[in-house]
Amino acid sequence: MRTWSRVRGVLRDPGGLFGALVIALILIAAIAGPALAPYDPSAQSLETRHLPPFWMDGGSTAHLLGTDQLGRDLASRVIQGARVSTIVGVAAVLMQVLVGVTLGLLAGYWRGALDAVIMRLADVWLAVPFLVLAMALAVVLGPGLWSTVLVLGAVGWVTFARIVRAQTLSIRERDFVLASRVAGARPIRTMRAEILPNVAASVIVVATLQVSQMIIAEAALSFLGLGIQPPDVGWGSMIAEGRDSLSSAWWVAAVPGAALVIATLGINLFGDALRDELDPRIR
């Protein structure tokens, strides 16, 4: 009942509705990509290189969004790229949530030395620019889809740890936490059953916004050649490939770029609508 009314609340917000549609599109593309794509995304055709999108002179409806320097269909590649973005975005954020929420709960609940260690570690993490740290790790781990997930997951846990710790600090002082201890619950149980549900709303909201951050970060890493490697297709590596022909065939970079912008915007708008719905403090 409550869940359903919240879903409706998000969809009533225009941004939330747009975001939900974008997310649905991305998910459909990620899951049913090969069935939807008009061409094999890696099929080359040197006669039809640098075809512009259909609305431009010389464009054809056979290749709706044009082709790249090897004659590969851009529409098919963008659809294929959605899969990488989804996997990296979701998996990296899940990893961050798992690590960050656990450390945040422990630090906030136990305080003391453990808290100090975890939070100083977080400070050190934050002191190094996100992308620099990710690049360093990517170099160490080597490029590839799953090492990209690992890199981004390892870099972003701090956000969650800090949010969860801050909220745990205040929630642990509430009477119902004391009541749970009085009832004989073990600390882990108290954290999981009493405190976690109270921080869940913020975690969900931040996680949503973080997914778009990770999609951009993956694109950035791939653009630099440290992320997704062929034959995998990512929007970031597609932009990198289009960079050389930017003056003659701008669409090769612009099409995946547009996909990236729309995806990020949609997820962010959805996250904002979700926050309005879930977080009573700013309502």
Partner 1 sequence: MAIRQQQERGAPVLEVRDLTVEIRTKRGTITPVDRLSFTLRGGEVLGLVGESGSGKSVSMMALMGLLPAGAARVTSGTAFLGGTDLLSVSPKRLNSMRGGVVSMVFQDPMSALNPVMRVGDQVMEAVRVHHRGLGRKGLRARAVELLELVGITDAGERMNAYPHEFSGGMRQRVMIAMAAANEPAVIIADEPTTALDVTVQAQILELLQDMKERIGSAIILITHDLGVIAEIADRVMVMYAGGKVEEAAVQPIFDAPRHPYTASLLASMPKLSGAVTTMRTIPGAPPDLLALPQGCRFNPRCPLADGRTECHTRAPELVHLDGGQQSACHFPAEVEKAFSRSSDQIEEGGERA
Which residues contact partner 1 (rule: CB under 8 A)? 112, 174-176, 178-186, 189, 193-194, 197-198, 200
Judge contact between 96 and 153, C-beta under 8 A. yes
Task: Say how many CA atoms lie within 13 Å of 255 toward its Cβ.
Answer: 29
Question: Tokens 């030395």 belong to which residue?
Answer: 113
Closest separation between CB of residue 111 and partner 1, Å? Answer: 9
Closest separation between CB of residue 22 and partner 1, Å? Answer: 29
- Name the H helices within 145-229: 145-171, 175-182, 187-189, 196-223
Question: Please, which residues have CB within 8 angstroms of residue 278's CB and are 6 or more apart in sequence?
Answer: 6, 201, 202, 204, 205
**The pair of three-digit structure tokens given for residue 194, joined into one six-digit string:** 């009493």
Closest separation between CB of residue 163 and partner 1, Å? Answer: 17
CA 88 to chain centre: 7
CA distances from 82 to 2, 79, 88, 212, 217 (A): 31, 5, 10, 12, 14
- Residue closer to partner 1 by CB (options 23, 177) is 177
- Residue closer to partner 1 by CB (options 112, 230) is 112
Radius of gyration of the chain (CA): 22
**The pair of three-digit structure tokens given for residue 123, joined into one six-digit string:** 């400070």
**The pair of three-digit structure tokens given for residue 236, joined into one six-digit string:** 């970031």
Q: How is residue 111 annotated by DSSP?
A: -
- Residue closer to partner 1 by CB (options 8, 186) is 186
Judge contact between 267 and 21, C-beta under 8 A. no
- Residue closer to partner 1 by CB (options 145, 177) is 177
- Residue closer to partner 1 by CB (options 82, 195) is 195
Closest separation between CB of residue 270 and partner 1, Å? Answer: 22
- Residue closer to partner 1 by CB (options 1, 140) is 1
Q: How is residue 77 annotated by DSSP?
A: H
- Residue closer to partner 1 by CB (options 184, 231) is 184
Closest separation between CB of residue 178 and partner 1, Å? Answer: 7
Say what the alpha-carbon torsion angle 195, 196, 202, 207 is, to the nearest 10 degrees.
Answer: 160
Closest separation between CB of residue 118 and partner 1, Å? Answer: 18
Q: How many CB atoms lie within 10 A of CB 15?
A: 17
* Angle subtended at Cα 246 by Cα 241 and Cα 249, rounded to the nearest 5 degrees: 95
- Residue closer to partner 1 by CB (options 47, 175) is 175
Closest separation between CB of residue 188 and partner 1, Å? Answer: 12
Closest separation between CB of residue 54 and partner 1, Å? Answer: 51
